[in-house]
Amino acid sequence: MLEIITTCAFGVEDLLEDELTALGLQSLVVVDGSVSGSGDWSAVWRANMGVRLGRRVLVQLGVWPASTLDELRAGAAELVTRDPIVAGLLDAEGTVGVYATCSDSKIDYAGAASKAALQGVLDAQRALTGECSLGVARDPELPLRLRIYKNQATLLLDTSGADLDDRPKRGPRPVRATMAAALAEVAGPRDVLFDPWPEESDAIQEWLDRAADRGPNVSRERWPFLGLPGHDADAFRVAWTASRGTGRGARVITTWEEAARVRGGLLLGCPPADWPEERWRELGVRLKKDLRGWRAVLLARGLGTGRGLRLRPKIRRQVRDGKLFGMILGLDLNEVPPARPHRSER
């Protein structure tokens, strides 16, 4: 069994755990910013094509102590030399590259760490076969990730190759696709959808993909694992077909006026990041007035943003995604009591 690590934004790890369980991964363990588990290569394929909240899917190759660059290089070489499975994966075909991160360790320069680990891999390839891969810094066919933490090195195979929230055939949005997927996961099922701010995120599309059980990355054509030795193309085709989905959809409406004529829909979206408190207050009034019986799931970006809503959400989930700090707010508008008035209003 492979040890599989799926990275994610902070605050959505439990949601990602549920996704990976549904995709067939086992023995899941949640830590800040990732979920690890076990599975075979078909689990790796399913995770890459089907996960909505994950950023990258990594397969752990080995761990060793590394307090110096020499130790790092020797440990990488020993890993490939002694482990025939790793040696088979890291054969001399194609290009290979290492991207390193360092924290709380004597080795504190990621660039030097990347070069040392790569050199160790190439040394081992030469020792085993007399040949070695071409080492490249950008867009390698075989991308490796190196984590050095507290003088311990972990080498991982990046089976995604590029961020999974870079959805095929979609334009860029201020809010990344994985965070929009978190909104969809919190929202749950409804028959009518409305996003007043479609220029901010693809929240509606993420919800539709989820409802249809359609993998968000099933249209991606390039995966690093396709070129691995022993890759089972027929089994992958079966996994790809299963990820295409056949499930339900929903009615999508586009205006507040249309939404006010419907009862029981889902408002899903990300208000602009620069909204002042008075705009949030206006939104709260409009939600109570026009959307009785609806559910609203919103991403409030920025610390303290969204307090002007003056409603008490049933769900408050703090999230962090790179530079984005925010709160996912979930409200059932036929059940929401008014918030306590501010001190200035008492």
Supply the pLDDT for residue 39: 97
For the record, the structure tokens of 69 come out as 């660059």
- What value does the mean pLDDT take over residues 189-217? 95
Supply the pLDDT for residue 306: 85
DSSP assignment of 333-344 equals TTTPPBPPPPGG
pLDDT band at 249 (very low <50, low <70, confident <90, very high): confident
Length of the chain: 346
Rounded mean pLDDT of the chain?
A: 93
β-sheet with 134-135: strand ranges across = 26-31, 34-39, 2-8, 54-65, 152-158, 142-149, 95-103, 134-135
CATH numbers and ranges of domains, the chain:
2-158 (3.30.2130.30), 177-215+232-344 (3.40.50.150)
Supply the pLDDT for residue 340: 52
d(CA 71, CA 174): 42
Helices (H) and strands (E) in the chain, counts: 10, 14
pLDDT band at 248 (very low <50, low <70, confident <90, very high): confident
d(CA 171, CA 164): 14
Helix (H) or strand (E) holding 18: helix 13-22
pLDDT band at 342 (very low <50, low <70, confident <90, very high): very low
The predicted model scores a pTM of 0.91
Can you give the three-state secondary structure of 170-196, one letter per residue?
Answer: CCCCCCCHHHHHHHHHHHCCCCEEECC
Check pLDDT > 80 for residue 312.
yes
For the record, the structure tokens of 321 come out as 């995604």
More confident residue, 339 or 285: 285
pLDDT in tens, 82-99: 999 999 999 878 899 999
